[in-house]
Amino acid sequence: MSDLMSEMLWFPVAIIAVLLLAAMWMMWRAQSYQRVSGLPAGKIVYEDVSHLAHAPLNAPRHGLRGKPDYLLQTEDEALIPVEVKSSASPTSGQPHDGHVLQLAAYFLLIEEALDETAPYGLIRYRNRTLRIVNAPQLRSRLLNTLRRMRTQLTADDVRRNHTQTARCARCSVAHACDQRLVASG
């Protein structure tokens, strides 16, 4: 074989080898991410935590718009929303109510925007992952909450609904709130 022929063959072989290595590296990265994060096996089809971030999901009928941290597609093709929290799970072993409602909102968004039904969702706390079932009672609770929020948006006076000073300390409208639990900076 002439030197020219050898050089012509070497180039495509090198390209194929590089592509194979890149594919293997991406597969290893996805699998190790799922091992470390405690997520079930499946394909990540949507994410909001990196340069790959997708557009928000919309449910205009309900005035709802949002981005789950991840949407996983399991081996049986189910779509599973995953919300990742940096905090540890509550010591009660039960998720925070607000986090459950957040998943309920993703269930609704997945139905409206993607025409799919998620059987359950996951809240990934720092120390454990909790599974929330997409149940009709949860949907009713979400719709009631959305109704209440819409009413309160137009009300003259809305009472504080929590006793968490940390929440007021982080609040961006604390300076204008007469029910704040911390001194206004």
Two tokens at 102? 């957040």
| Nearest to 70, CA basis, from 44, 52, 91 | 44
Q: By CB under 6 A, is residue 160 in contact with ligand SF4?
A: yes
Rounded to whole angstroms, the Cα distance separating 54 from 45 reads 10
Instruction: Please pick, from the candidates 61, 144, 168, 185, the single residue that binds ligand SF4 as defined by CB under 6 A.
Output: 168
Q: By CB under 6 A, is residue 153 in contact with ligand SF4?
A: no
Q: Which is nearer to ligand SF4, 78 or 177 (CB)?
A: 177
Q: At what angle do helices 136-153 and 97-114 cross, to 10 degrees?
A: 100
Q: Which residue has the tokens 């718009």?
A: 65
Q: What are phi and psi of 162, to 5 degrees?
A: -150, 170
Candidates 36-44, 50-58, 114-122, 175-183; binding stretch for ligand SF4 (CB under 6 A): 175-183
Candidates 70-78, 110-118, 147-155, 165-173; binding stretch for ligand SF4 (CB under 6 A): 165-173
What is the closest distance, in whole angstroms, from the C-beta atom of residue 121 to ligand SF4 in the complex? 26
Candidates 49-57, 76-84, 124-132, 167-175; binding stretch for ligand SF4 (CB under 6 A): 167-175
Two tokens at 172? 């961006």
Instruction: Please pick, from the candidates 22, 81, 179, 185, the single residue that binds ligand SF4 as defined by CB under 6 A.
Output: 179
Distance between start and end Cα atoms, the chain: 80
Strands 57-59 and 64-66: antiparallel
What is the closest distance, in whole angstroms, from the C-beta atom of residue 76 to ligand SF4 in the complex? 41
What is the closest distance, in whole angstroms, from the C-beta atom of residue 168 to ligand SF4 in the complex? 3
